[in-house]
Amino acid sequence: MRVRFLEDFDFKPVRATTIAYRAGMEMTVRKCCGEQAVAAGKAVELAKPARAITEQQRAIAAKVDAGFASAIAQQNTTREGDDGRGANDR
């Protein structure tokens, strides 16, 4: 859950631990933490940030897609004399 803290907020996930969030912090927190902070009026829930895709990631995805297409095309072509059974099935 993504929240922006309006006031300082101490979250206790277990009895012996306290996580301090300062006013103005904007971050992703555990859902139970965010719900407690919003309910206490110390935070507001934010929308998930859009995930940016870099040109490098686009290029890698295009190569992977091309590789899969090539592998599928190669798999679908049958060699002369190949009846589709493995060598151990003959």
Q: Is the pLDDT of residue 84 over 90?
A: no
Verdict on whether the full-model pTM lies above 0.75: no
pLDDT in tens, 16-74: 999 999 999 999 999 999 999 999 999 999 998 777 778 888 888 888 877 777 777 77
Say if residues 21 and 7 touch (Cβ distance below 8 Å): no
Task: Give pLDDT, residue 14.
Answer: 92
Listed by start position, the domains of the chain span 2-46
| Main-chain dihedrals φ then ψ at residue 17, nearest 5 degrees | -130, 135
87 pLDDT band, cuts 50/70/90, is low
Say if residues 36 and 3 touch (Cβ distance below 8 Å): no
Task: Give pLDDT, residue 62.
Answer: 83
